[in-house]
Amino acid sequence: MPKIVVKNPASLEVIETFPVPEISEIDLMINNSKKAFIKWKAFSLSQRQEILSKAADAIEARKDELAKLLTSEQGKPFHESNREIGAITSVFRLYAGMPIKPEIIQDNETTQIIVDQEPYGVCALILPWNYPVGLLGWKLAPCLLAGNTAIVKPSQFAPLAVIKCIEIISDFLPDNVVQPLPGGDQEGVYLTRHPGIARISFTGSQNTGKNILKSASENLPKITLEMSGNDAAIILPDCDLDKRFESIFWGCFFNIGQICVAIKRIYVHESIAPELIRRFKEKTEAMKIGNGLEPGVQMGPINNEKQLLKVYELVEDARNLGATIVAGGNKILGNGYFFQPTVLTDLDDSFRIVREEQFGPAIPILTYSDIDDAITRANNTVYGLGGSIWTEDIEIGKKLAKKLECGTVWVNAHMLVEHRAPFGGWKQSGMGRELGEAGLKEFLQTRTLYMVKS
């Protein structure tokens, strides 16, 4: 029987194995979810809000245990895991306070027109491995508030903390309102082709997003896709590096770059490029890398072997084409999927590491002399998730920010996510939105009621 084997990426030690569910078990889960939907949708909005709030408290009460589990399967340092558990509780609390109200378009003597919102039914929530618990919150909280039920397919590379959170949340819910499906890619395919699934909310790679669109074409469930990014940061000559460098650095290397909205390419004005590169070299070489549960560790391993090989391949490709490896550039030998934080220069936009999403600890730094040219180069991609402008002149920053073709743009920040604001990608980085009211609307379908009185 095929098994999911979950390893600690810092030691390669197996921490859990479980059998991949049979097709008949997935069918049963979906059937049970349909039955649970009838019960759950009958709960009042305030009952659902109260349950979300209690679930947030219960997760918070077990924050350290959950963060430890997350670090052991995902690799990120314990303080980053702690922050991620904080994100799920904060999103649950946000939606616990969000209203769902019908809109009265017209109400006169002859006619009343009301637009109201209904849940879809059984939703498939499909998660990646890089930020699994946080993204569970982004999807599950609005899904439940809207009155839907959920089958959650965590990544086979980091399913444990997600399953544990679902166990905790389920204590407050009727049976089968949320069920984890701890399978691999094929179970994801089966789920997205299934006629019992009314909505899919997916976060992961662009390639998988495209495959999901194909799988779903038969039954046409509604679909939200949050996919890969290749965010550019444009650093203007007046950028005060004393003030901004830490944010630029962690914009690239938080979760060792395994974040959809990490900075994945830097365009720096040629006048300050030498100073920026010097700072990157100094800081990457001073990083404490290791098992995220050890005190003081600032960077953990890459999550899995496939991803390690991808980062390695892109760095090698750049090296072979003549890029300068200013810092890092190699795997760290021993147990664990460790890779040195890497800084590359002397490359151009045709290099694969600039065009493709590396999703790991390797940052290409490119220079520009003309800002319009930098904006054109930043936009010259099929991706459109995020981007940033770094300048001490906020008005110029704002003007340039509006020229970037992506779903989120920051001035003097990157990766900052406010849960009340919508999040999602332009171009091939996304379809639909998560977070904020927009994220709730994704889980509600609109019905327009016309009532003719006379």
Report the interface residues with ligand NAD, using CB under 6 A. Answer: 126-131, 153, 155-156, 184-185, 188-189, 192, 203-205, 208, 211-212, 215, 226-229, 260, 357, 359, 385, 425, 430
CA dihedral (330, 332, 337, 342) in degrees, to 10, reads -40
Q: Is 219 left (phi over 0), alpha (psi -120 to 50) or beta?
A: alpha
Work out the angle between the directed axes of helices 45-61 and 132-145 (0-180°, nearest 10): 160
By beta-carbon proximity to ligand NAD, the closer residue of 183 and 336 is 183
Give the CB-side neighbour count of residue 442, counting CA atoms within 13 A: 29
Q: From the CB of 253, what's the least distance to ligand NAD, in Å? A: 15
114 or 309: whose CB is closer to ligand NAD? 309
Alpha carbon dihedral 240, 241, 244, 248, in 10-degree steps, equals 140
Minimum CB separation of residue 383 from ligand NAD in Å reads 9
In whole angstroms, how close is the CB of 183 to ligand NAD at the nearest point? 7
Closest contact distance (angstroms) between CB of 4 and ligand NAD is 10
Instruction: Tell the smallest beta-carbon distance from residue 212 to ligand NAD (Å).
Output: 5
100 vs 260, which CB is nearer to ligand NAD?
A: 260
Q: Which residue is closest to ligand NAD by CB?
A: 188
Smallest gap from residue 128 Cβ to ligand NAD (A): 3
Give whole-number Cα distances, 198 to 82, 143, 144, 418, 433, in Å. Answer: 33, 12, 14, 28, 17
What are 115's strand-pairing partners? Answer: 103, 448
Our CB check for ligand NAD shows the closer of 148 and 215 to be: 215
Tokens at 67, concatenated: 């963060």
C-alpha distance from residue 208 to each of 27, 31, 145, 226 (Å): 22, 25, 27, 10
Closest approach of ligand NAD to the CB of residue 23, in Å: 15
Q: How many CA atoms lie within 13 A of 287 on its CB side?
A: 30
C-alpha distances (whole Å) from 349 to each of 275, 369, 374 are: 21, 15, 11
Count CA atoms within 13 Å of residue 344 on its CB side: 29
Residue closer to ligand NAD, measured from CB, 28 or 189: 189
Nearer to ligand NAD by C-beta: 191 or 411? 191
Nearest residue (CB) to ligand NAD, 361 versus 397: 361
Which of 257, 169, 144, 185 lies closest to 4 in space, CA to CA? 185
Nearest Cα to Cα of residue 38 among 233, 174, 179: 174
Least CB distance from residue 45 to ligand NAD, whole Å?
27
To ligand NAD, the closest distance from the beta carbon of 398 in angstroms equals 24
By annotation, the residues acting in catalysis are 226, 260
How far apart are the C-alpha atoms of 223 and 199, rounded to whole Å?
Answer: 6
Q: Please, are residues 54 and 172 in contact by the beta-carbon 8 Å criterion?
A: yes
Q: Which is nearer to ligand NAD, 261 or 272 (CB)?
A: 261
- Distance (Å) of CA 201 to CA 131, 376, 428: 15, 32, 16
Helix runs in 237-290, H state only: 241-253, 273-286
Q: How far apart are CA 215 and CA 63, in angstroms?
A: 37
Q: Between 210 and 278, whose beta carbon lies closer to ligand NAD?
A: 210
Q: Where are the alpha helices (DSSP H) in 348-433?
A: 352-355, 371-379, 394-401
Tokens coding 341? 């934080």
CA dihedral 165, 167, 168, 174 (to 10 degrees): 130
Using alpha carbons, select from 417, 408, 435 the residue that is nearest to residue 139.
Answer: 435
